């Protein structure tokens, strides 16, 4: 039934009364939130069931996107928007005296991811549903999401994220006890002959009950609802007596207790490997069980099922799929292998050596001995197949098991039909460097899929004012079809429109200034340049380069308080992995520098430094619309793609960038005149690696500016950083500055001067900003997922786009 305001208000009041036996005027925000979610869920559930029925009716090929991280943030607004209910709910709430924003704020962020990788998975889920693809997410329901960050004396402190224990809980999930499966781990395995097959006999294994919690992923105005399935580890009832000790029970429940907070860093922990096998086995078992319900034979399963391995964490999908086809379905090795390779595809997200997963053989044996046997057999056959045909050293370099370790990326490439990088430069590096040998073996498997972002969340929801003035020029069709944003370019000389853009930006900056004041007590000037760097804290992302420039500016201002610079507010948001000492030292140094600068009245407030605590999806939604400058300054070759670069340009920020990741493609889109490029190229970085001619100490000794700035880290200029200042100083000098911070420093200063100069010409600035907004549509994840669907998974869209809202159930 088409929903209108009267009907909505009536239903809302009724539901509130049914659930809580109260009136609107007596309800807390939590109760209002819960009631709204319940209404929303019962409405999209009708379409959810229908989507599933249609898949079954058409025997649709299904994709399963396996990812150990999903980082959706809040879902209420996004669901309302996609259902076509957003404005209606805001208006209705207004009418009955409810502050919608306050109700929405009750929702805890669903933070089941660390950063870019998990957020990409969430944007993909949104786009896949919105484009009507039959794609299911498969992941882990962590009881604790990514830690909450607090600063104490300038240091990062981590607090647990008890999101499920909040009053709001997870309103979106449905526990499906009836779809539970059993995951077998540990113990020993023996193969015995039985009925002509080798049958594995497990001894002393631990059985774990895997219970799925399903979250509906609502497509945009298409009545299409997909499923994100998150698995939780529980103690199986039937054998409860087998787990008498508290300790044994805890070990099972621990598997899905906490998200590992390491981003791009492989810790090699036993529990992490358990997590990986747990969600892989649960997911693959349920896929095959479902498939068998509707198909008599399994030897063509790859025609109806595709499994995507998002980074190597789910790479055991290859072995688990083989295990079931061999041990339970009794396919021959050759047939099983053919189906496995055809079913699997893999995305690589990094070239950083420390992030490439390897596992000790004994550990894998301990976690799942049968999986180790299968991996060993895959490895053995791989070697045997190539022996004599390929250079022996190449075989050694590419095999899965070597040096006592299992190489997960090798398993993923060998066991799948597609390997993709996440930006053109990154894919080129995979081919020429990190996975070069595999590219020699399987050139046809390699392809690029440049990342993308969901314009619905990052423009429509995060920046409604900007979306509204775009509507005034283009109508509302761009909301359905991102490409149309390009047409904005024609307003490049429309002074009125450019002014409107400036007004919207100012409003967003005023809002952020208010938030900054509330959270930090620091007042910032909304007419200053808001210079933003938001991402995980990592040496290669070079927050340090930004900090050194801030110190330089401060020293200059101290020397000459009348220095003519455009006032700037430097805004940081970043969490460091709890065990990443160096990254935490950088946080401390930024915080102490901020304290010094923000309280020094002699510089007349010309610069301010704000490090906002606990950067997460919700904070990103508030910072990004207010940014003037987007800092994308990683060492060339290190950032696989980046996605905040896309979100910030979409919101009109201008990018200061190295030629890294997707920055290269952003530059191609907007043209060199509309972006501030600086720094070493990837080729130059690699040349330094080869000829060892970089000596960072020389920069300290011979460059007066650098000398002065680095000294400020260790001579007390910045108080309270004795240890951290020295640590950073040493890394940049005696330890030869791994990420070429000093090498790129001067060029960074040069480009930042250019930023100032450009900002003084406001018309030019707005024109550049407009082009960035218009061209950002090339980075819509709607476009990206279409390429995954047609070029990797071979699935079709099954839903019509076109303004059909989710109705109200009778
Ligand atoms: C890459 F390897 C990893 C990882 O463990 N976590 C993570 O967030 C990021 N990433 C890359 O660092 C980004 O460049 C990229 O845009 C993002 O993945 C999505 O592909």
Instruction: State the pLDDT at residue 235.
Output: 95
Q: Is 606 a catalytic residue?
A: no
Nearest CA to ligand 1 atom 18: 117
The Cβ of residue 525 has, within 10 Å, a number of other Cβ atoms equal to 15
Name the pairing type of β-strands 405-407 and 358-360. Answer: antiparallel
Residue 28 clears pLDDT 70, i.e. is over it: yes
Tokens 């781990």, residue located: 185
Output the CA 543–ligand 1 centroid distance in Å: 16
Alpha-carbon separation of residue 335 from 280, 462, 583, 591 (angstroms): 21, 49, 48, 59
Please work out whether the CB of residue 113 comes within 6 Å of at least one atom of ligand 1: no
Angle (CA) 306 61 44, round 5°: 105
Question: Helix or strand or coil: residue 790?
Answer: helix
Instruction: Look over the chain and give the mean of its residue pLDDT values, rounded to a whole number.
Output: 97
Instruction: State the pLDDT at residue 167.
Output: 86
Q: Which of 349, 407, 538, 682 is catalytic?
A: 349
Give the pLDDT mean for 540-558: 98
Contacts of 117-121 with CB under 8 Å at 24 or more apart are 117/67, 117/69, 117/263, 117/310, 117/311, 117/349, 118/67, 118/69, 118/70, 118/71, 119/71, 119/617, 119/643, 120/422, 120/451, 120/643, 120/781, 121/65, 121/67, 121/69, 121/70, 121/71, 121/310
Are the C-beta atoms of 755 and 421 separated by less than 8 Å? no
Nearest CA to ligand 1 atom 3: 264
Residue 604 clears pLDDT 80, i.e. is over it: yes
pLDDT band of residue 267 (cuts 50, 70, 90) is confident
Are the C-beta atoms of 287 and 343 separated by less than 8 Å? no
Name the pairing type of β-strands 419-421 and 344-347. Answer: parallel
Please work out whether the CB of residue 784 comes within 6 Å of at least one atom of ligand 1: no
Q: What is 136-176 written as a DSSP string?
A: EEEEE--SBEEEEEEEETTEEEEEEE-GGGSTT--TTEEE-
Instruction: Report d(CA 412, CA 348) in Å as an integer.
Output: 9
Q: Give the contacts of 44 (CB within 8 A, at least 6 positions apart).
A: 79, 83, 216, 218, 225, 806
Output the CA 473–ligand 1 centroid distance in Å: 36
Question: Helix or strand or coil: residue 686?
Answer: helix
Instruction: State the pLDDT at residue 107.
Output: 97
Are the C-beta atoms of 170 and 155 separated by less than 8 Å? no
* Residue spans of alpha helices (H) in 308-391: 317-323, 333-343, 361-367, 369-386
| Span 466-496, pLDDT tens digits | 999 999 999 999 999 999 999 999 999 999 9
| Span 116-174, pLDDT tens digits | 999 999 999 999 999 999 999 999 999 999 999 999 999 999 999 999 998 888 999 99
Give the pLDDT mean for 226-240: 89
Nearest CA to ligand 1 atom 16: 642
Please work out whether the CB of residue 69 comes within 6 Å of at least one atom of ligand 1: no
Read off the DSSP letter of residue 16.
Answer: H
- In terms of C-beta density within 10 A (0-12 exposed, 13-18 middle, 19 or more buried), how is residue 54 classed? middle
Instruction: State the pLDDT at residue 291.
Output: 98
* Residue spans of alpha helices (H) in 599-703: 617-623, 644-650, 663-670, 682-691, 696-702
Output the CA 595–ligand 1 centroid distance in Å: 31
628: tokens are: 């003037």
- Residue of 535, 536, 617, 640 with the most ligand 1 atoms within 8 Å of its CB, for mutation: 640
Q: Which of 308, 457, 541, 775 is catalytic?
A: 541
Name the pairing type of β-strands 70-73 and 110-112. Answer: antiparallel
From the centroid of its chain, how far is CA 136?
17
Question: Phi, psi (5° rounding) for residue 7?
Answer: -65, -40
Output the CA 311–ligand 1 centroid distance in Å: 9
- Residue of 71, 111, 350 with the most ligand 1 atoms within 8 Å of its CB, for mutation: 350
Give the pLDDT mean for 638-662: 98
Read off the DSSP letter of residue 657.
Answer: E
Name the pairing type of β-strands 135-140 and 62-66. Answer: parallel
Nearest CA to ligand 1 atom 10: 117
Please work out whether the CB of residue 635 comes within 6 Å of at least one atom of ligand 1: no
Please work out whether the CB of residue 451 comes within 6 Å of at least one atom of ligand 1: yes
Please work out whether the CB of residue 339 comes within 6 Å of at least one atom of ligand 1: no
Which range is least confidently modeled, 260-269, 360-369, 371-380? 260-269
Please work out whether the CB of residue 725 comes within 6 Å of at least one atom of ligand 1: no
Atom of ligand 1 nearest to the CA of 264: 5
Q: 3-state SS of the chain: helix, strand, coil percent to 5?
A: 55, 15, 30
ipTM (interface pTM): 0.98
* pTM value surpassing 0.90: yes
| Span 776-801, pLDDT tens digits | 999 999 999 999 999 999 999 998 88
pLDDT band of residue 808 (cuts 50, 70, 90) is confident
Instruction: State the pLDDT at residue 238.
Output: 65
Atom of ligand 1 nearest to the CA of 350: 2
Give the pLDDT mean for 698-702: 98
Please work out whether the CB of residue 500 comes within 6 Å of at least one atom of ligand 1: no
Atom of ligand 1 nearest to the CA of 115: 8
Q: Which of 643, 717, 733, 784 is catalytic?
A: 643
CATH number of 455-779: 3.40.50.2000
Q: Is 350 a catalytic residue?
A: no
Instruction: Report d(CA 389, CA 400) in Å as an integer.
Output: 18
Please work out whether the CB of residue 350 comes within 6 Å of at least one atom of ligand 1: yes
Task: Classify the phi-psi angles of 388: left when phi > 0, otherwise alpha if psi is within -120 to 50, otherwise beta.
Answer: left
Residue 22 clears pLDDT 80, i.e. is over it: yes
Nearest CA to ligand 1 atom 4: 264
Question: Helix or strand or coil: residue 419?
Answer: strand
Atom of ligand 1 nearest to the CA of 426: 14
Query: Any idea which architecture 59-74+109-449 has in CATH?
Result: 3-Layer(aba) Sandwich (3.40)
Please work out whether the CB of residue 349 comes within 6 Å of at least one atom of ligand 1: yes
Instruction: State the pLDDT at residue 807.
Output: 86
Task: Classify the phi-psi angles of 164: left when phi > 0, otherwise alpha if psi is within -120 to 50, otherwise beta.
Answer: alpha
Residues 347-368 as b or e (16 or more Cβ within 10 Å = b): bbbbbbeebbbbbeeebbbbbb
Please work out whether the CB of residue 120 comes within 6 Å of at least one atom of ligand 1: yes
Please work out whether the CB of residue 421 comes within 6 Å of at least one atom of ligand 1: no
Give the pLDDT mean for 254-262: 96
Q: Which of 407, 647, 682, 775 is catalytic?
A: 647
Instruction: State the pLDDT at residue 810.
Output: 64
| Span 75-92, pLDDT tens digits | 999 999 999 999 999 999
Q: Which of 221, 509, 536, 538 is catalytic?
A: 536
What are the domain boundaries of the chain?
Answer: 59-74+109-449, 455-779
Q: At what angle do helices 762-775 and 495-520 cross, to 10 degrees?
A: 90
Q: Is 500 a catalytic residue?
A: no
Please work out whether the CB of residue 262 comes within 6 Å of at least one atom of ligand 1: no
pLDDT band of residue 353 (cuts 50, 70, 90) is confident
Which range is least confidently modeled, 194-208, 485-499, 697-711, 762-776? 194-208
Give the pLDDT mean for 641-663: 98
Instruction: State the pLDDT at residue 268.
Output: 79
Please work out whether the CB of residue 548 comes within 6 Å of at least one atom of ligand 1: no
Instruction: Name 184's bridge partners.
Output: 207
Output the CA 658–ligand 1 centroid distance in Å: 17
Instruction: State the pLDDT at residue 3.
Output: 83
Give the pLDDT mean for 577-597: 98
Name the pairing type of β-strands 344-347 and 358-360. Answer: unpaired
Atom of ligand 1 nearest to the CA of 113: 8
Q: Is 541 a catalytic residue?
A: yes
Alpha-carbon separation of residue 263 from 346, 535, 537 (angstroms): 19, 11, 9
Nearest CA to ligand 1 atom 13: 642
Are the C-beta atoms of 284 and 335 separated by less than 8 Å? no
238: tokens are: 């039937």
Are the C-beta atoms of 343 and 307 separated by less than 8 Å? yes
Q: Is 536 a catalytic residue?
A: yes
Element counts in the chain: helices (H) and strands (E): 31, 25
To the nearest whole percent, how much of the chain has pLDDT over 70?
99
Give the pLDDT mean for 578-598: 98
Give the pLDDT mean for 516-529: 98
Q: At what angle do helices 5-20 and 29-57 cross, to 10 degrees?
A: 110
As a whole number of Å, the CA-based R_g of the chain is 27
| Span 389-425, pLDDT tens digits | 999 999 999 999 999 999 999 999 999 999 999 999 9
Tokens 């595709």, residue located: 306
Instruction: Report d(CA 738, CA 634) in Å as an integer.
Output: 12
Output the CA 1–ligand 1 centroid distance in Å: 43
Instruction: State the pLDDT at residue 242.
Output: 63
CATH topology agreement for domains 59-74+109-449 and 455-779: yes
Instruction: Report d(CA 277, CA 316) in Å as an integer.
Output: 7
- Residue of 69, 116, 119, 124 with the most ligand 1 atoms within 8 Å of its CB, for mutation: 116
């Amino acid at each position: 039934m088409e929903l209108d305001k009267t009907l909505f208000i009536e239903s809302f009041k009724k539901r509130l009364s049914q659930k809580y036996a109260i009136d609107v005027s007596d309800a807390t925000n939590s109760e209002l939130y819960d009631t709204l979610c319940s209404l929303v869920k019962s409405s999209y559930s009708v379409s959810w069931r229908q989507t599933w029925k249609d898949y079954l009716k058409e025997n649709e090929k299904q994709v399963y996107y396996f990812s150990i991280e999903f980082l959706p943030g809040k879902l209420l607004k996004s669901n309302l928007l996609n259902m076509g209910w957003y404005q209606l709910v805001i208006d209705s709430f207004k009418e009955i005296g409810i502050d919608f924003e306050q109700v929405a704020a009750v929702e805890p962020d669903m933070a089941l991811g660390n950063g870019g990788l998990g957020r990409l998975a969430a944007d993909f889920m949104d786009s896949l549903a919105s484009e009507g693809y039959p794609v299911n997410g498969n992941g882990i329901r962590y009881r604790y999401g990514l830690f909450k960050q607090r600063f104490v004396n300038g240091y990062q402190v981590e607090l647990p994220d008890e999101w499920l224990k909040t009053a709001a809980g997870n309103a979106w999930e449905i526990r499906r006890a009836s779809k539970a499966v059993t995951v077998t781990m540990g113990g020993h395995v023996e193969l015995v002959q039985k009925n002509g097959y080798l049958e594995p006999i497990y001894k002393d294994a631990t059985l774990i009950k895997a219970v799925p919690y399903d979250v509906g992923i609502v497509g945009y105005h298409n009545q299409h609802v997909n499923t994100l399935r998150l698995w939780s580890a529980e103690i199986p009832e039937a054998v409860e007596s087998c787990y008498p000790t508290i300790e044994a029970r805890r070990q099972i429940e621990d598997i899905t207790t906490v998200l590992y907070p390491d981003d791009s860093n492989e810790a090699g922990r036993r529990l992490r490997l358990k997590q990986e096998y747990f969600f892989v086995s649960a997911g693959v078992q349920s896929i095959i069980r479902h498939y068998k319900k509707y198909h008599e034979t399994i030897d063509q399963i790859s025609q109806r099922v595709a499994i995507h391995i998002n980074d190597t964490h789910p790479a055991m999908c290859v072995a688990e799929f083989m295990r079931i086809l061999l041990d339970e379905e009794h396919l021959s090795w050759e047939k099983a292998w053919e189906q496995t390779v055809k079913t699997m595809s893999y995305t690589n997200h990094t070239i950083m050596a420390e992030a490439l997963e390897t596992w000790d053989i004994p550990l894998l044996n301990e976690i799942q001995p049968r999986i180790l046997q299968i991996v060993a057999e895959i490895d053995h056959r791989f070697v045997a197949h190539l022996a004599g045909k390929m250079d022996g050293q190449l075989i050694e370099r590419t095999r899965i098991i070597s040096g006592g370790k299992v190489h997960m990326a090798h398993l993923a490439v060998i066991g799948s039909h597609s390997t993709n990088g996440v930006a053109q430069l990154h894919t080129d590096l995979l081919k020429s460097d990190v996975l070069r040998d595999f590219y020699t073996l399987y050139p046809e498997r390699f392809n690029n899929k440049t990342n993308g972002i969901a314009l619905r969340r990052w423009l429509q929801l995060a920046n409604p004012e900007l979306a509204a003035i775009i509507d005034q020029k283009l109508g509302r069709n761009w909301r359905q079809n991102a490409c149309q944003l390009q047409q904005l370019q024609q307003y490049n000389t429309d002074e009125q429109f450019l002014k409107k853009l400036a007004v919207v930006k100012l409003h967003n900056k005023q809002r952020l200034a208010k938030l900054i004041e509330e959270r930090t007590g620091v007042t910032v000037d909304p007419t200053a340049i808001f210079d933003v760097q938001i991402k995980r804290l990592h040496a290669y992302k070079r927050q340090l380069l930004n900090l050194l420039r801030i110190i330089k500016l401060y020293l200059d201002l101290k020397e000459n308080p009348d220095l003519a610079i455009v006032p700037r507010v430097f805004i940081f948001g970043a969490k460091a992995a709890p065990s990443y000492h160096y990254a935490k030292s950088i946080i401390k140094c930024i915080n102490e520098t901020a304290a010094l600068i923000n309280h020094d009245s002699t510089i007349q407030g010309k610069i301010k430094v704000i490090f906002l605590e606990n950067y997460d999806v919700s904070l990103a939604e508030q910072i990004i619309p207010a940014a003037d400058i987007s800092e994308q300054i990683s060492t060339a070759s290190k950032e696989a793609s980046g996605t905040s670069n896309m979100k910030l340009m979409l919101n009109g920020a201008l990018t200061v960038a190295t030629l890294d990741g997707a920055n290269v493609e952003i530059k191609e889109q907007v043209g060199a005149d509309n972006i501030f490029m600086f720094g070493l190229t990837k080729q130059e970085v690699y040349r330094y690696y080869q000829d060892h001619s970089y000596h960072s100490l020389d920069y300290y000794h011979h460059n007066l500016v650098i000398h002065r700035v680095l000294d400020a880290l260790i001579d007390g200029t910045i108080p309270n950083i004795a240890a951290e200042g020295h640590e950073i100083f040493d890394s940049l000098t005696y330890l030869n500055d791994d990420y070429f911070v000093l090498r790129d420093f001067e060029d960074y200063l040069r480009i930042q001067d250019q930023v100032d100069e450009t900002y003084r010409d406001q018309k030019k600035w707005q024109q550049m900003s407009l082009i960035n907004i218009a061209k950002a549509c090339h980075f819509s994840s709607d476009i990206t997922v279409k390429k995954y669907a047609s070029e990797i998974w071979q699935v079709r869209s099954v839903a019509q786009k076109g303004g059909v809202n989710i109705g109200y159930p009778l």
